[in-house]
Amino acid sequence: MAIRRKYSVSDVQKVIHALISKLISATSPWTSWQAVYGYPEGEVFNFSKLLVYVDTPIKTGTLTHQGGRPAVTMEIVLGCWNSGGDEGTGGVEECDIAAGHLLDLFGDVDVYSTQFTVTLGATTYTNKTLYDHGIIVTGSTGPRNIPVEDPLEYRREVTVSLIVTF
Amino acid sequence: MAISSECRIDFTGWEAKSTRIKYAISEAVKEAIDYGMDELSRKVTQNLGGMRHKAGTKSPSPGKLPVTMISGNLHQAVRHKRIDLTRGAVFIDKNKAPYAVHVHYGTKKMRPRRFMSDAVAERREAIINRQRYLIKLKIRRAGGNPSEILGL
């Protein structure tokens, strides 16, 4: 279990970002997209690819059991934003494909077999899975259509529910 | 010679108790939904009640809750309504604050301030616990056993 209790919010966000970055670096069609840690602010809209952003997770509850340290339940928003440098190439369909891949990733046991490398604090964890980090996926919902300002901009959000153990 | 026997069971007490519990549950659910809507509206309003700043100036705390106010319209646009006996909704009046969706989900130039979903995530467990308590209490007062009826 690599997630640190006092840093659980940023650690979970880093782990999920590392997982998605790994897929983006190696697997088609993920390679057509770009992963962003946190909300994509103004300056990152120079990217020529669709953005997959990993927003800050929110703690939704605590799971207690006798004789053990409590686990926490969290929700994390993952978004797809087709915009920026390429003015939304692929259009709404590309955005829906990305959202579909996110939903499928977190709705399938394959999510536990992807190995990725992440640095939490001063320690680098090489080729670990989500399960090795103590994260269990309990569900994913969406995609929600998010209203945007520009006509050549498309945005969807998926919410993933997690149990984080320490 | 015929032998006959008769056994009469009086269910009137059971029926009265059953009716009483059914009524208690419907009243408790109504109260629980009202509580949920009140609590959520309170939290959402709190998330929208940041400090005031002048129009045309940048928010002193971008991307953070509570949302800072310019006109205060969004802060005053929190509404709730009962949909039916078991459902209620907390929402933002679009006519009062049509920009609410952009504040909540963010734009290219503005970080999101998820005043609604953060309120739900933060208060969900407390609301459910309180609702469960209210329903159990009403059932117990009506003479029922909550663990038998609700399986809790």
Query: Within 10 A of B43 (CB to CB), how many other CB atoms are there?
Result: 21
What residues does each domain of chain A span? 5-164
Question: Out of 3.10.590, 3.40.50, 3.30.2000, 2.40.160, which CATH number does the structure's domain A5-164 have?
Answer: 3.30.2000
In this prediction, residue B152 carries a pLDDT of: 60
Minimal Cα–Cα distance from B37 to chain A, Å?
18
Give residue-wise pLDDT tens across range A7-58.
889 999 999 999 999 989 888 888 888 888 988 876 556 667 888 999 999 8
Give residue-wise pLDDT tens across range A108-123.
888 888 888 888 888 8
* CA A71-A72-A73 angle, 5° bins: 130
In this prediction, residue A89 carries a pLDDT of: 67
> Rounded distance, CA B42 to CA B130, Å?
15
> Contacts of residue B43 in chain A, CB cutoff 8 Å?
none
pLDDT at residue A4 is higher than 70: yes
Q: Give, rounded to a whole angstrom, the gap between the first and last alpha carbons of chain B.
A: 55
Both structure tokens of B51? 């400090």
Chain-chain contact of B102 with A55 (C-beta, under 8 angstroms): no
Task: For CA atoms A119, A125, A127, A129, give the dihedral sign.
Answer: negative
The residues, any chain, with a CB within 8 Å of residue B74's CB and separated by 6 or more, are B48, B67, B92, B96, B97, B99, B100, B103
pLDDT mean across residues, chain A: 85
Pairing of strands B87-92, A154-164: unpaired
Chain-chain contact of B108 with A45 (C-beta, under 8 angstroms): yes
Query: Smallest Cβ distance to B101: which of A39, A60, A147?
Result: A147
Tell me how far apart the 2 most distant CA atoms of chain A are, in Å: 55
Q: ipTM strictly over 0.85?
A: no
In which residue are the tokens 């087709």 written?
A82
Helices B12-47 and B115-141: angle between axes, nearest 10 degrees: 160
Tell me what the mean pLDDT of segment A140-155 comes to. Answer: 84
Task: Give pTM, 2 decimals.
Answer: 0.79
| Dihedral, CA of residue A117, residue A119, residue A123 and residue A128, to nearest 10 | -30
Write out chain B's pLDDT in tens, 152 residues.
678 888 888 888 888 888 888 898 888 999 999 999 999 999 999 999 888 888 888 777 777 888 888 888 889 999 999 998 889 999 999 999 999 999 999 888 888 899 998 899 888 888 999 998 988 888 888 888 877 777 66
- Residue B52 at interface with chain A, using a CB cutoff of 8 Å: no
Give residue-wise pLDDT tens across range A44-96.
566 678 889 999 998 888 888 777 778 899 999 999 988 755 555 677 888 88
In this prediction, residue A45 carries a pLDDT of: 62
Chain-chain contact of A149 with B108 (C-beta, under 8 angstroms): yes
